[in-house]
Chains A and B, each alone.
Chain A
Amino acid sequence: MDGFGVSFAFWVLAAITLVAAGGVMVSRNLLHAVLFLILTFVGVAGFFVLLSADFIAMAADAK
């Protein structure tokens, strides 16, 4: 993992994914938890794109 763009994307994605995953745990509303979970999945799909695993990323995004 080298280059500024890749590491920047990694840290942004990490922040989004972690915050969303935390949101799944703390939200009192069930539907908010579901929406946070979807955001978590999108973040994980982004990680797969960073790993050059495009197909898995699309599968993770399409669920």
Chain B
Amino acid sequence: MVYVLAALIGFVASFLLFVLPSQLIVGVYGERRIIGRMQSRLGPNRVGPFGLLQPIADAIKLIQKEALTPTQADRVVMYIAPIIFVMPAVLLWAVIPFGENMVIADIPVSLMFFLAVSALPVIATFMAGWSSNNKYSLFGAMRIVSMAISYESPLVLALLGAVVMSGTISLSGMVAWADEYTIWMVFVQPLALVIYFICASAELNRTPVDIAEAESEIVAGYLTEYSGMKWGLFYGMDIGYALAASAFAATVFLGGWTLFGLENWVPGWMIFIGKTHLFYFLFIWTRGTLPRLRADQLMAFAWKFLLPLGVFNLLIVSTERMLWAEQDYAKGLIYVFALVNIVLSVGLVYAWARFNGYRPERTPTRPRLVKQAGGYIPVGERP
């Protein structure tokens, strides 16, 4: 009985873990179902049990579809753009440690590798937008390039906080650090995680910040002229990048495959996959609940809010690192730092928001008229 159970768990887990396409299927299905639930509808529920086969049906449909290319398009560049978009998504998983000694390429600069490779899809999206020979595509491409430049700097600053604290830029080293001091990086660096999360969703081009393919403004951005499986590769690999970013966040901020001693009883990669999907759920959550921002708001948010906070965070963490080194890396001190940093992060975010003039909107106790809220009603429709 136990063996049957273990085999079943193993089968399900290997299905979840070892094949990236199956991971993508779970990702696509989960995303659509969860967003459906958040928006009071069902989501895919017709194909197979609970609609589980819907992603496969979609893929078959997309492969059958004719891949159109505009006559004036730059054919070669338009053709290789989705290929270049897919390549880094697979490459990223090479440096993620799934468990003890379960990492394909344990290079000493794996964090740098992740950052360098995750910058490549921006080139692919720009190629896609430019080669389509469509103004909306080019708009989308320009937007994604400007957004990537804006959000890359606070992202790197936030990760620098984690790197300074742990003293390593190897992802396995970060997991070992979390294991050695029995604390997750998220408690020591809560602000870094918040900044990383916002910047990653901007880099991934997901809905609260997906100005590059905003349907209501520019038809579908750089994807306007794409159809069939070429579009499908872009769509599927968006999920792949979200999963990779979740895995990266789980490794850096949640201690990877360790869980305070539980990893001796449960396989480390199961814990890791659980943490990854926790972050992935957060991505879906923000996608399902937040409205889209304007392009200028996004740029202002990156440069005026996230970047100064990242610099403050780096200042704090560097000071703490020096204090820590003077105390000979005492184990108890890290918990003090965690407490101080959580308080400081909340204070910093609140203070910087007040300084920038973002006031928290309290829930109105009574309904307000459109005019009071600063809106405008056309003359003919006034009540």
A residues with CB within 8 A of B: 29, 31-32, 35, 38, 45, 54-55, 58-59, 61-63
Contact present for B115 and A55 (CB under 8 Å): no
Most buried by A among B74, B77, B108, B112: B112
Determine the chain B residues whose CB is within 8 A of the CB of A29 once the complex forms.
74
Judged by DSSP, the binding face of B is helix
Q: Are B109 and A58 in contact (CB under 8 A)?
A: yes
Complex-state Cα separation, A40 to B115, whole angstroms: 19
**A-facing mask of B250-275, CB < 8 A → 1, else 0?**
00000000000000000000000000
Shortest beta-carbon distance, A3 to chain B, in Å? Answer: 17
With known contacts A38-B123, A58-B109, A31–B116 Cβ distance under 8 A: no
Contacts of A59 in B (CB 8 A): 112, 116
B108, B112, B117, B130: which contacts A31 (Cβ < 8 A)? B130
Known: A32-B77, A35-B127. A55 touches B109 (CB 8 A): yes
Residues of chain B touching chain A, judged by Cβ–Cβ distance below 8 Å, are: 74, 77, 107-109, 112-113, 115-117, 119, 123, 127, 130
Q: A54-B112, A62-B116 are in contact. List 15 more A-B contacts (CB 8 A).
A: A29-B74, A32-B77, A35-B77, A35-B127, A45-B116, A54-B107, A54-B108, A54-B109, A54-B113, A55-B109, A55-B112, A58-B112, A62-B112, A62-B119, A63-B119
Distance between Cα atoms of A38 and B273 in the complex (Å):
34
Shortest Cβ distance from B168 into chain A, in angstroms? 13
